[in-house]
Chains A and B, each alone.
Chain A
Amino acid sequence: MMADEDIVLRAEALRKNFGKLEVTRDVAISLPRGARHALIGPNGAGKTTLINLLTGQLKPDAGRIELEGGDITGLAPAHRVRRGLSRTFQINTLFPDLTPIEAVALAVMERERTAGQFWKRLAAHGDAIEESFTILGQLGLADVATRTTRTLPYGQQRLLEIALALATRPRVLLLDEPAAGVPKDESAALFSVIAGLPSDISVLFIEHDMDIVFKFASRIIVLVGGGVLLEADPETVRSDPRVREVYLGHGHG
């Protein structure tokens, strides 16, 4: 299996039921290195659930997940993050009372395993703070680095979601509707930030806005009713009658 070496994240036969509801049925995906893939599907299709399964927030009923060739199916979420699999949340999951510089520095120091050093002043972790600052700068958050997160405009909070994920230095980044709730003109800017991420990070993002999906994704996975309906390049997806019917036809966003 030579081709395997390029696949960073692979899931096979993933299955998850909530009671009788089949939310994930036999899903297989593979994300190559440097991918910019989109995951689309109507509301309730099971997109967030799939991300929860991949990152370990939920345990699959069946199936297998591999990260860079290693089995991570039974690994705790934090351990997956340390192996390079990071995510953002559809609904802001931030630290409301921390400032962005504190939050990002915390993620950096957790990665560096220096967060437990209770004897050393925070300001003495110069490298971590420097790095956090660079990350915030990349996302245009440098100006608000020392403001309390809860006071930031919503759009900047969405960017901080991404900053926190980047601070873990991911090889694979799963973005759950990064632009959810952001005005259309701002969401284009947000996605150009995502497009500008280092090319060795593999990205899978969920997004409802088709213009954005077609612009930024090199490949699209269409999820319907918990199963993969189609995985193809944007052109094929755009012209597929089934996709038009179940997804585009019903009108979204």
Chain B
Amino acid sequence: MTDSIAPIESRDWLRRRSRWSPFEILFWLAALLPFILFPTYLPLASQIAIAALFAISVDLILGYAGIVTLGHAMFFGLGAYFAGIISVRGWGEPVSGLLMAGLFAGIIGYIVSFLITRVQHLALLMVTLGLGLLTYELANALHDLTGGTDGLRGIRTWPIFGQFKFDLWGYTGYAYTLALLFLCFLLSRRLVNSSFGLALRGIRENVKRMPAIGADHKGHLRLVYAISAAIAGLAGGLMAQTTNTVALDSLSFERSADVVVMLILGGTGRLYGAILGTIIFLVARDQLAGINPQYWYFGIGLLLMVVVLFMPTGILGFLARIVDRRK
């Protein structure tokens, strides 16, 4: 520590932090395994990819910028209903439909962000919760548009690029969701490794200092909130298109809460934590709830407590620490 580190080395250090690790490459290769090894689980794999995308969207605001939210299903549901409704009304082209759904959720997210950046702490939690409930009731009330409690009926998704039909086994579905998850992951990865990602961490670390270094931190928050809402909307749209159903549960409080649980299980502020948490959560639910739903609630409750008490940085944070120590 006595020798001075040259600026070059320091820049190298910054660059190293955003370099692809072998673990990451391995992980994305492993994501292809369901095609070969567990084809019967492809629908579950799609469901996981969609939920992971949703969890990544929450990680951007919660894990990086430190905005807690209990209402993010709002944007998931808006995207789902948007994609579903345009399909019902005659436009079932998936790619453009999905992009529009994401854009729609992002625009709503940007509008809402002006409210979000005015409040903090408990008030923030209540505002996000309130907006989520409000959207849920609105969708319920707009029965003609959304189908209300019956859900949206008659969604038909055309083949992707006019070529790939959504098959019963879910090959196309998983390929589509995985591709989207990967693309959005790349975008998020670039974002968190950019100067903007640094600014978000600055907000999380000390929001009081931000104005004192001349930062427009509210502007940053509005931008990341809109981006996060758009990604959540894409996830919702994917769900609508791959399952051809949209019901009120896409907007439910439970979905908002579950995604936060997944994120905390995996570890916040590291993107992969969102994915790992989602996998653990949904696979455990699939297996345990199959035996007895009570096992599931008991299991997830226990796991959540163990993680929060003994792995404050989440399961991935815990694993990363072990790997670091070995080096």
Contacts and interface: CB of A to CB of B under 8 A. Distances in A.
Given A115-B220, A122-B198, A129 B11 contact: yes
A122 B193 contact: yes
Q: Chain B interface secondary structure, helix, strand, loop or mixed?
A: helix
A106 B196 contact: no
B211 A121 contact: no
A93 B211 CA distance: 12
Interface in A66-122: 76-78, 81-82, 86-87, 89, 93-98, 101-103, 105-107, 109-111, 114-122
Contacts of B18: 121-123
B187 to A, nearest CB: 9
A110 B212 CA distance: 11
Given A96-B205, A106-B199, A145-B10, 20 more contacts: A78-B214, A81-B211, A81-B213, A87-B212, A93-B212, A94-B209, A98-B205, A102-B14, A105-B195, A107-B213, A107-B215, A110-B199, A115-B215, A118-B227, A119-B190, A121-B15, A122-B193, A130-B7, A145-B5, A167-B213
Interface in A44-74: 55-57
Given A101-B14, A133-B7, A118 B191 contact: yes
Interface of B: 1-5, 7, 10-11, 13-15, 18, 190-191, 193-199, 201-202, 205-206, 208-217, 219-220, 223, 227
B217 to A, nearest CB: 8
Nearest to B206: A95
A251 interface: no
Interface residues of A, number: 51
Given A101-B14, A168-B213, A121 B201 contact: no
20 contacts: A55-B212, A81-B211, A86-B212, A87-B212, A94-B209, A98-B198, A98-B205, A107-B213, A107-B215, A109-B198, A115-B198, A116-B199, A117-B194, A118-B190, A118-B194, A118-B223, A122-B14, A129-B14, A165-B213, A168-B213
